[in-house]
Each structure stands twice: as structure tokens, then as C-alpha cells.
Amino acid sequence: MEIKKLFDGEKTVFSMEIFPPKKPGTIDSIYSTLDGLSGIKPSFISCTYGAGGNPADTSTVDICRIIKEKYDILSIAHLTCVNNTKEDIDLAIELFKQSGIENVLALRGDINDKVEPKDDFKHASDLILYLREKAPWLEISAACYPETHPNSETAAEDIRYMKYKEECGAKHFMSQLFFDNSDFYRFRERAEIVGIKSPIEAGIMPVTSKAGILRMVSMCGASIPQKLARLLNKYEYNEEALKDACINYSIDQISDLIASGADGIHLYSMNKPDVAIRIYQAVKNLL
Ligand code: FAD
């Protein structure tokens, strides 16, 4: 499926991300997540691969095949390269072929202090070029960073490498989570200035726990604006109130992004269908 076609119409694309069950051998539990999400009609669902530096296995491809075959939804398999050799990527390509997976999010991957990176791929752009050569039938997406990737010295440098990923063959971008839409709007302007033409989806993560989101932002470098910090502090010890307040926060963010013409909303569902459904119900008529 040509990913750019999803963005041809007037409507804002709505997509979601899930992750493989954490316990090995429990892949069947993904059905309850996917059944729970079935009230939503996303343009695609993507599935992470070894996120947080965790060991990766074939569950990403298995889940993407289930999304496609059982739920009839386009799936995008995440694939990282920093801990993989060319032979590992060849195996992944073979698995994609066998499982009918045609869409990949090509990533460098999180660097894990305990795992020595392999030498074959340094950046997502190396993986994109390799996939283009070895599997030209794959549609490639890539990641981008409204608040600039923490490894980049400057926003200008980061956006140049984003443009390079497009030149290498990325047809679509999914953004890192952010909580202040003005960060996304400034980033979108930078992308426009360097001539990036591919659609950019805005990554929205609903917060459900203060400790969880603090851990997440410390890993990915996103910032927490005052408005969200106030909610986290006020409802820290009231789980239901925190959930309600933060769902409303995500709905406000998404409504404003749609009104400002965002190409797409990529919802980090965190495998929590009840939260994703509440958000989708509130914004579906705006898309
Ligand atoms: P790159 O594009 O390689 O960028 C990393 C840094 O290098 C940036 O500072 C960039 O500006 C710079 N750079 C880029 N290209 C070059 C180049 N050619 N030469 C020199 N410098 C360069 N991680 C997982 O492990 N599994 C997942 O499933 C996963 N899913 C993700 C989904 C989304 C939507 C996003 C936004 C991130 C995801 N991540 C995942 C996290 C991601 O792996 C990390 O953010 C990682 O640190 C960078 O990956 P990247 O592909 O953006 O890297």
C-alpha cells in the first residue's frame, strides 16, 4: 500500500501505535488489545520493535500480520538497525515477505548502554538505503522530532537529517510525542523551509501516570509544559481524575492540530483501548 495515498484526501489521517506484549510467549494477549481498539477505524496501526532497548523478536511481524489479516487494517512494522547486522535485516526482510508486510518504519533504535551497537548501520538513513536496495517493494516511513532529537546539537542539524531520510526514500514521517503544539508548529515550519514534502503525523501520547510519563520524557527528551505539569501535580494520587484530565488534554491537543491542518494524528495507544476509544470518540467528527 502506497503510504502517501492515505494522505491524498481532505481528512486528517488517524493512526495508532501498539507494542508487543512484554512477556515472551504471550503474543495471544494482543487480541484483547486489538479487539478493544476495534471501535476505532484507524488508517493504520504500527507495532514497535524492541522499544526502550529491549530485546527484539519476531512478535512485531506476527502482530502486523494479525492486524492485516484478522482485522483488515493496514499495518506498519517498526524495524531498528543499530543492534542489527545486514544479515539480521535480510532475515527481517524475508519475514516481511512471508507475512505480507509491505510497510516499515525504519529506525536507528534506542541506544542501550548495556548493548554494544553493531557496525553495519549507524543511522536510520543507512537502513532506509539498504531496504531500498534489498526490498524495493517496501514502503518506508521514518521518525521525526518536533523538539529535536536529543543527539542533535541544533534543530537545524536535526531537520537536515530528516530531509536526508526523505531523500534516501522515506515517504512519510511519524513524530515523537510532544505536549505543546507550538513545538510541533515551529518544527513543521522548519520542515517546510528545508523542502520536506512527505506527510508528517503528529505523535500524541495520552498520559495515564505521572511516574510513567516522567520516565518516558527522560528517555525521549520531550518537555512537559506548565499546563500539563499542573494536572500531573494536582491529580498525581487520584488515578481516575488524572486519567480524565489527561484524556481531555490529549483531546484538546488533537482538536487544535486538526484545525491547524496536521497531516495526521499518530496516537500512542500504549495498549490501553479504553483511553484510545475515549479520545477517538471525541475527535472522530473533526478528522
Ligand atoms: P536517526 O534518524 O538515525 O537519528 C538519530 C540522530 O542522528 C538524530 O540526532 C539525527 O539528527 C542524527 N542523524 C540522522 N541521520 C544522520 C546521518 N545520516 N548522519 C549523521 N547524523 C544523523 N525505538 C525502538 O527501539 N523501537 C521502536 O519501535 C521505536 N519506535 C519509534 C516510533 C516513533 C514514531 C519514534 C519517533 C521513535 C521510535 N523509537 C523506537 C525511538 C527511536 O529509535 C529513537 O528515537 C532513536 O534514538 C532515533 O531513531 P531515528 O530512527 O530517529 O534515528
Please report the beta strands in 193-278, taking only residues with DSSP state E, as ranges in sequence order.
Answer: 200-204, 264-268
Q: How far, in Å, from the CA of 108 to the mean position of ligand 1?
A: 5
pLDDT score, position 57 = 82
Its pTM stands at 0.97
- CA 151 – ligand 1 centroid, Å: 9
pLDDT at 227 (0 to 100): 97
Rounded to whole angstroms, the Cα distance separating 117 from 110 reads 10
With beta carbons less than 8 A apart as the criterion, state whether 175 and 144 touch: yes
Q: What pLDDT does residue 23 have?
A: 78
Give nearest CA residue, ligand 1 atom 14: 161
Q: Examine the pLDDT at 150 and tell me if it is beyond 60.
A: yes
Q: Which of 174, 86, 171 is nearest to 130 (CA)?
A: 86
Contact 56, 41 (CB under 8 A): no
pLDDT the model gives residue 160: 98
pLDDT digits (tens, 9 = 90+) for 100-121: 999 999 999 988 888 899 999 9
Ligand 1 atom closest to the CA of 203, numbered from 1? 34
pLDDT tens digits, residue range 240-269?
999 999 999 999 999 999 999 999 999 999
- Nearest residue by C-alpha to atom 28 in ligand 1: 48
pLDDT at 55 over 70: no
Mean pLDDT value across residues 227-249? 97
Spell out which residues line ligand 1, taking CB within 6 angstroms.
Answer: 48-51, 78, 80, 107-110, 123-125, 143, 149, 151-152, 158, 161, 164-165, 174, 176, 203
Active site residue 239: no
Nearest to 47 by CA among 32, 36, 58: 58
Three cell numbers, residue 89: 535485516
Tens digits of residue pLDDT in 164-220:
999 999 999 999 999 999 999 999 999 999 999 999 999 999 999 999 999 999 999
